[in-house]
């Protein structure tokens, strides 16, 4: 489908279709790239996330199914608050910040689910923000998200947020040998590795998020199993801290609520 720039239905309908010389060259080039370990998503330039097609390049982390648990957690918390008779973010002026947006997958998925929300997204990488803006335009959501170049929340001076969400770097340099070759060789290192321990970025993000959230607001982060215990420790002083596993029973999404006092 990538080689022919067509969908699966076309292939089934035209089994006799032969490749042109250019298409054959494109196919062989793609196979060669994959053979040396380049992720398929970087070869095709696309990855699906939350039912949406995203442009991806080596400037951004490839969106993964595990990250969809972040979206699910926000939706669950919003639904619980409505059921509890509290102010319901989905139907009021919900304010969300996606920290380290990369391809924009989290911010765009939330913009799709919460059509009346005010959504901001940050990234330290200019190249990543360019990709995120392209994806926003492709999904006609460019007017829904405000993009900011920033190191986490530094310099934004944001307060009163309902949700701070993030898929921050959380892999320690000590784990490098355990990371898939195609990840450590081809995906952006600053989006994967956080430092020697793996908690260096999370340690900075947690207090910044606390300052930016409204009382009772939520911090939702994707993490990995190796940093779960330390992350839980770093969230001392927050309320309703919970770390949920993914479908492989690996600790994956942490949620924590800022004190409502």
Looking at residue 89, its pLDDT comes to 46
Residue 35 within a domain: no
Residue 109, phi-psi category: left (phi > 0), alpha (psi -120 to 50), beta (remainder): alpha
pLDDT in tens, 223-235: 999 999 999 999 9
Question: Where is 201: in which H helix or E strand?
Answer: helix 200-212
Distance separating alpha carbons of residues 13 and 162, to the nearest angstrom: 49
DSSP code per residue over 114-160:
-TT-EEEEEES-HHHHHHHHHHHHHTT-TTTEEEEE-STTTTT----
Per cent of the chain over pLDDT 70 is 84
User: What is the maximal distance between C-alpha atoms in the chain?
Assistant: 69
Looking at residue 25, its pLDDT comes to 65
- pLDDT band of residue 150 (cuts 50, 70, 90) is very high
Q: What total number of domains does the chain contain?
A: 1
Residue 49 within a domain: no
pTM: 0.90
Report whether pLDDT(199) > 80: yes
If one counts every other C-beta atom within 10 angstroms of the C-beta of residue 107, the result is: 28
List, in order, residues 6 or more apart from 195 with CB less than 8 Å away: 172, 173, 201
Distance separating alpha carbons of residues 75 and 155, to the nearest angstrom: 28
- Region of poorest pLDDT, from 22-26, 41-45, 72-76, 137-141: 22-26
Residue 37 within a domain: no
Residue 235 CB-density burial (10 A; 0-12 exposed, 13-18 middle, 19+ buried): buried
Q: Give residue 177's domain range.
A: 57-257
- Region of poorest pLDDT, from 19-28, 142-151, 203-212: 19-28
Residue 42 within a domain: no
Report whether pLDDT(174) > 70: yes
Residue 14 within a domain: no
Distance separating alpha carbons of residues 81 and 63, to the nearest angstrom: 28
Q: Taking a C-beta distance cutoff of 8 angstroms, is the pair 127, 148 a contact?
A: no
Question: Where is 163: in which H helix or E strand?
Answer: strand 161-166
pLDDT in tens, 75-103: 999 888 765 555 544 446 799 999 999 99
Residue 22 within a domain: no
Residue 30 within a domain: no
Helix (H, G, I), strand (E, B) or coil at 36: coil
Residue 32 within a domain: no
Label the pairing between strands 118-123 and 145-149.
Answer: parallel
Task: Give the pLDDT mean for 103-118.
Answer: 96
Which CATH number characterizes residue 196's domain?
3.40.50.150
């Amino acid at each position: 489908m990538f080689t022919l720039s067509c969908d699966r239905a076309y292939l089934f309908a035209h089994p006799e279709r032969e490749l042109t010389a250019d298409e054959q060259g494109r196919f062989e080039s793609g196979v060669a790239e994959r053979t040396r370990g380049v992720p398929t998503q970087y070869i095709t330039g696309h990855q699906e996330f939350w039912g949406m097609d995203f442009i991806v390049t080596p400037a951004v982390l490839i969106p993964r199914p595990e990250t969809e648990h972040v979206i699910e957690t926000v939706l669950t918390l919003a639904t619980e608050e409505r059921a509890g008779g509290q102010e319901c973010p989905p139907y009021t002026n919900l304010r969300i910040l996606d920290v380290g947006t990369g391809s924009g997958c989290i911010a765009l998925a939330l913009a799709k689910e919460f059509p009346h929300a005010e959504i901001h997204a940050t990234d330290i990488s200019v190249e990543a923000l360019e990709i995120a803006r392209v994806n926003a335009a492709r999904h006609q959501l460019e007017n829904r998200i405000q993009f900011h170049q920033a190191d986490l929340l530094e310099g934004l001076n944001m307060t009163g947020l309902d949700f701070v969400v993030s898929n921050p770097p959380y892999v320690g340099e000590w784990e490098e040998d355990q990371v898939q070759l195609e990840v450590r060789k081809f995906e952006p290192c600053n989006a994967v590795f956080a430092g020697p321990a793996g908690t260096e970025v999370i340690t900075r993000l947690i207090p910044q998020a606390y300052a930016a959230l409204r009382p009772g607001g939520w911090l939702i982060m994707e993490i990995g199993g190796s940093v779960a215990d330390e992350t839980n420790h770093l969230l001392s002083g927050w309320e309703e801290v919970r770390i949920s596993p993914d479908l492989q029973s690996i600790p994956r999404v942490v949620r924590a609520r800022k004190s409502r006092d």
